[in-house]
């Protein structure tokens, strides 16, 4: 499918025609995971950025995401990545943490955007003009780019966490609730990077730690 057929930058083109020059896409990775951080990225792409290989990060292979990531971070006018850890998610709740993180990513971006496009649901108290787009990571170039940057960054974090806690298979499951992950969680209890407020995770914990005696880092 050609770039013209996909028309992936139509939102950005319309906004530029209205006078908005720096249009940011914002998206997150790791919302549904049982372990690891929630990661958000904000990206401003230049006009006429080649969209070949850019898509919703979930639709790309790991190699495709890595290649797209490198092209995005080199070619972007600006990009930023922010994250929130499991303990903060447990204290604040997932949805509130997600909204706050998306706002923080948009506001941390330099240069500051004129307009912000987000995936899925509106972000309240966004101090910039903004629009939420259903399935934005699949239909909007800058949001798709942000989804790739967030996903690749989070995957690299989970690779590092796998080396610390190899029992849980984070290298493969990325902290999501696969049958293998759930079996280890049931047998060993959670480790320090699990989200204890999530169903099926906190119930595995004994006071102080989990059942399997895996020492905290």
Q: What is the pTM of this model?
A: 0.89
Report residue 204's pLDDT band, with 50, 70 and 90 as the boundaries: low
Per-residue confidence (pLDDT) for residue 63, from 0 to 100:
95
Question: Is residue 103's pLDDT more than 70?
Answer: yes
CA dist 104 and 63 (Å) reads 29
CB of 115 within 8 A of CB of 15? yes
Average pLDDT over residues 121-125: 90
Query: In angstroms, how far apart are the furthest CA atoms of the chain?
Result: 60
Contact residues for 24 (Cβ-Cβ < 8 A; gap 6+)? 42, 43, 44, 78, 106, 109, 113, 115, 116, 117, 142, 146
Please give the pLDDT value at position 199. 85
Confidence of residue 212 (pLDDT cuts 50, 70, 90): very low
Strands 23-29 and 130-133: unpaired
Min mean pLDDT across 80-94, 110-124, 127-141, 189-203 is at 189-203
pLDDT score recorded for residue 6: 67
Mean pLDDT along residues 165-176: 96
User: CA-CA distance, 100 to 130, in Å (whole number)?
Assistant: 15
Both tokens of residue 191? 């480790």
Assess whether pLDDT exceeds 70 at residue 213.
no
Query: In percent, how much of the chain has pLDDT > 70?
Result: 90
3-21: pLDDT as tens digits: 344 689 999 999 999 999 9
List C-alpha distances in Å: 181 to 102, 133, 195, 213: 28, 32, 13, 17
């Amino acid at each position: 499918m050609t770039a013209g057929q996909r028309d992936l930058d139509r939102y950005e083109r319309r906004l530029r025609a209205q006078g908005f020059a720096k249009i940011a896409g914002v998206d997150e990775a790791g919302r549904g995971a049982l372990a690891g951080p929630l990661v958000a990225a904000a990206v401003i792409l230049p006009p006429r950025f080649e969209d070949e290989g850019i898509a919703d990060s979930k639709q790309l292979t790991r190699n495709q995401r890595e290649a797209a990531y490198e092209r995005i971070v080199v070619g972007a006018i600006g990009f930023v990545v922010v994250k929130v850890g499991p303990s903060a998610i447990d204290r604040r709740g997932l949805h509130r943490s997600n909204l706050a993180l998306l706002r923080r990513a948009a506001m941390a971006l330099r240069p500051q955007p004129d307009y912000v496009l987000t995936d899925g649901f509106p972000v309240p108290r966004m101090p910039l003009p903004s629009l939420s787009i259903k399935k934005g990571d699949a239909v909007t170039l800058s949001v798709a780019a942000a989804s790739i940057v967030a996903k690749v960054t989070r995957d690299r974090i989970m690779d590092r966490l796998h080396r610390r806690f190899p029992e849980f298979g984070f290298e493969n499951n990325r902290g999501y609730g696969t049958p293998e992950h759930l079996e280890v969680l049931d047998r060993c209890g959670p480790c320090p990077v699990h989200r204890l407020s999530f169903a099926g995770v906190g119930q595995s914990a004994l006071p102080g730690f989990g059942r399997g005696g895996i020492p905290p880092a």
